[in-house]
Structure formats: structure tokens, C-alpha cells
Amino acid sequence: MKFILFFVLGLLIACSDKAEEDGESNDLGKNKDYLKEILERGELRAITTYSGTTYFLYRGEPMGFEYELLQQFTEQLGVDLKMVIAEDENELINMLKEGKGDLIAYGYTILEERKEHIDFSEPLYYSSQVLVQRKPNNWRRMRRHQINQQLITNPVQLIGDTVSVKINSAYASRIENLNEEIGGKIHIDTIPGDMATGKIIRKVAKGELKYTIADKNIAKIYASAYPELNIDTKISLTQRIAWGLPNYSENLRDTLNNWIESQKNTLNYNVVYNKYFKNTRLHKRRVKSSFYSLNEGKISRYDDLIKKYADKHDWDWRLLASIIYQESKFKPTSESWVGAQGLMQIMPATAKDLGITDTTDPQQSVRGGTAYLDQIYGKFDKVEDSIQRLKFTLASYNSGLGHVRDAQRLADYNDLDRYQWDENVEKMILELAKPKNYNRDFIRYGYVRGREPFNYVRQIFSRYEHYKRFIGEEGKAKETQVASTD
């Protein structure tokens, strides 16, 4: 038997070597079912970049066109979503080919040269490239035709001039094609792939760069915030913008394409698109805000207060910020249907025990809320893993310590680990919504709407992961903030 096994193995190796000698591709991706792997893993890994339209943080909430669509797609698949961040735009394709993600959720222009490396989804939308340039200094006192006389209105006028674009981008490719089309030389000032399109456009608005190129829908929203910009000169024909997929990922590609086609003409899709590409008022408010992750490392106006009390109890302030967002969305006058109030939604009786005289006072709420969390944390000293202990603490903060203890008892009954929240006690908190379980003689606190603490813990930790990606522990925005679309 061993002889046969070694013979077959040797034959496979020999065939593989022969294929390589003959110059044949030995691409293992041809035999890989990407969709099946995602479903079995229970998680879709989306490679993307930080940007003003793709994925960012605003007032404590992760947002973005790609991010919102991904949430909806993964919900349909029944899996979790994990954002995998590329530090440099030029690494997106390499990361996909190296298996660091399942798809590139980024507004990629479909180019023939890119098709040699990756597959593409159905187009999510269409756009064209435009020249971004600064109007004359005194443009407000000039007539339109006078302004146009001092602007580039035809790409031919760029011959001999320089345009600043990201290296290896569709914009750089377009300039190279233009040089062929117009029979002249437009010089390229190459910008590193880790610089945001929005930042490049702002440099043009400030006069630090002369020209750049951007997709029209991106340029339009930035021009609304910087009226000194002109984006009227078209550089390309209409182009298709899509997501990138691994080669030979037919099942994943077909599933994604069917979903895209089912969504593109819906009201929901148009609402999401308009939110990021047409709502210029919202965009202007966002890009000027201190609570926009591409500007400063702030989550809320209460960051200093949150840091103060998080440090006191040795908590990561970003986790505490995620809890407060979950409870009140940073609104100190918020009140729940059961009477909980303030930033940390503390019940009146609990507030009295904690010495809180005004639950709407941010300082009192955060002080009392963190003290209460610390008290609960101390109740789970037998939970050795610190992350699991935090999850038990949060579930108790939401539903009450008694219900979580009942879930632990039910875990014992079902031969699960009472000291492991994930996939163990969290499942039992769900089961406590069923009469057959909450009526058992060892259950002391009865019925609980288990879906609430189950989702509460997951949502807080999911948001916490977003916060950690955008904001450093010291409270500064992370440097990795790259392009919008390309």
C-alpha cells in the first residue's frame, strides 16, 4: 500500500515538473472554489484602501460606498465582513494574488492590462476621467469666457506640460495613451500610491500642484468643497468601474455579479450611490469635520473624557468609544425606551448606586459607566482570556449579569465551555429566548431577548476593529489614507 502511495505521489510530482518544463501554467487557483471557502470560513475578506468614498470613519461610524455595498453583499451570503487594508494602492493586486483577501473592493477602472492579472466584476457604475485644475486667482471677478481663456480646455493644450497622478494608476495609463493620440508629450509627475486622491486634489486647490486627473464623480464632490477648482475638461471616454476578483473564481464572480445586477436598479443602490457621489452638502460637511478620519484622529467630541476614564480602568479608549457609540451615538441627552439615559445609557437605579446625579452630564455618565463596567469585569475573574472576559462584561452590561450567568449554566448543560463567549455562551444567550430553555429548573432569571446581547457584543467589537484601523491608540489618525477610485 505504501509503495502504491509513493508511486502515485511520484507520478504527480513528475507530471508537475514536466508541465513546468513545457512552460505550462501550474496555477492552483484553477482548482480553488473561492465561494465555498468563504462560506466555510464564515467571513469575506475585502481588500480596500482608506478613502473619502470607499472606506472611512465619520463621527464614530464606519462608512463608504464600497463598505456599505459589502455589508449588504455579505449579509446575503450569511457571512461576516473583514476589511483588509492595503497600505499602498499599488499593492492591491499583489495582495489579492497572494491570497490576503477574496476580492478587491475598490473602484477599479477596467483596463486590458489589468485583465492579465485579475478578473473583474460587473461594473458598479460608469465614469470618465477629467482634468482637475485651479481657476485663476481672481476668478470670482471674471466672466466665464475670461476664466476659460486661462484654463486648459482641450488635452492638446497639455503638450509639454506636467500632470501629477499616482504611479501605475489608470490616470497614468490614460496620459500615456493621450501622448500617442495627440502626437505630443505630456509629462507625468508620479505620486506614490499611498496618497489619497482627495489629498492630491486639495494640493491642486492650494496651488501646490498644477494639474491632476480624477474620475468625474470623485472630482465633482471635491469641487463642491473647493469652488476654486475646475473639472470641466474631459480626458477620457466613459469607463467601467468595477471590483477586482481572482482569476478562475467563477462561482464567486457569478454570485457577486448576480447580486450586483439585482441591486443596480433598486432604490437602495441609488440612495447609497447618491450618498457618496452626489450629496455635495454632506461631503462638504464631512471633509471639513474634525471627526472625519481622513482629517484628524478624532472619533467624537468626548475623546479626551473617554481616554481619561479608559486609562483609569486600563481599557483601550477606542473600545470604550465603540460602547458609547452603541449606547447613544455620542448624544448625551439620548434616552432609551426603558428609561436608560446619557452617553452610556445608565438606568436611574444604577445611576443612583454609582453616585450619578445627572445622567445627561457627559462627565458623570462616562465616569459612572466605566466604573460599572469595571465592577462587572471583576465578576468574571475565572475567564482567563481577556477578550472573552470583555465580551462577557459587555453582554452583562447590556442584558444583566443574571441572564449571562444563566447562559453559562445552559452552556454547562449542553457540554459547552462556560468561560468562552464566542461560539459557546453566546449561543446559549440566544437559546434563553425559548420556553424550553428559560423554563428549566436551573435557570434563575427566565426569559431574555438573547438576540440583543448577542448582536450588542458583536457590533461593538466589529466597530472597535474599524476604530483600531483608522485611529492609533494615542488618538492620531493612521497614515494609511490612500486613493478614492482609480
Average pLDDT over residues 462-479: 78
Long-range contacts of 272-277 (CB under 8 A, 24+ apart): 272/65, 272/68, 272/69, 273/65, 273/125, 275/65, 275/68, 276/53, 276/64, 276/65, 276/221, 277/53, 277/65, 277/125, 277/217, 277/218, 277/220, 277/221
Average pLDDT over residues 49-68: 88
pLDDT in tens, 301-319: 999 999 999 999 999 999 9
Task: Give me 125's grid cell.
Answer: 457604475
pLDDT at 206 over 60: yes
Name which residue leads in pLDDT, 328 or 1: 328
Region of residue 467 (phi > 0: left; psi between -120 and 50: alpha; otherwise: beta): alpha
Quick one: pLDDT at residue 198? 82
Angle subtended at Cα 56 by Cα 305 and Cα 283, rounded to the nearest 5 degrees: 100
Give CA separation, 89 vs 49, 166, 197, in Å: 7, 9, 11
Quick one: pLDDT at residue 21? 42
pLDDT in tens, 97-150: 999 999 999 888 999 989 999 999 999 999 999 999 999 999 999 999 999 999
pLDDT at 284 over 60: yes
**By percentage, how much of the chain surpasses pLDDT 90?**
72
| Bridge pairing between strands 211-215 and 43-48 | unpaired
Give CA separation, 65 vs 50, 123, 219, 268, 387, in Å: 12, 14, 16, 12, 31
pLDDT in tens, 16-48: 443 344 444 434 456 689 999 999 999 999 999
pLDDT band at residue 404 under the 50/70/90 scheme: very high
Average pLDDT over residues 1-8: 38
Contact 385, 398 (CB under 8 A): no
Contact 283, 225 (CB under 8 A): yes
Quick one: pLDDT at residue 476? 59
Quick one: pLDDT at residue 17? 45
The length of the chain, given as a count of residues: 486
pLDDT at 190 over 70: yes
Contact 332, 309 (CB under 8 A): no
- Point out the least confidently predicted range of 21-25, 172-176, 465-469: 21-25
Neighbour count for residue 110 (Cβ, 10 Å)? 15
Task: Give me 335's grid cell.
Answer: 434616552
* Sequence-separated (6 or more) residues with CB below 8 Å from residue 15: none
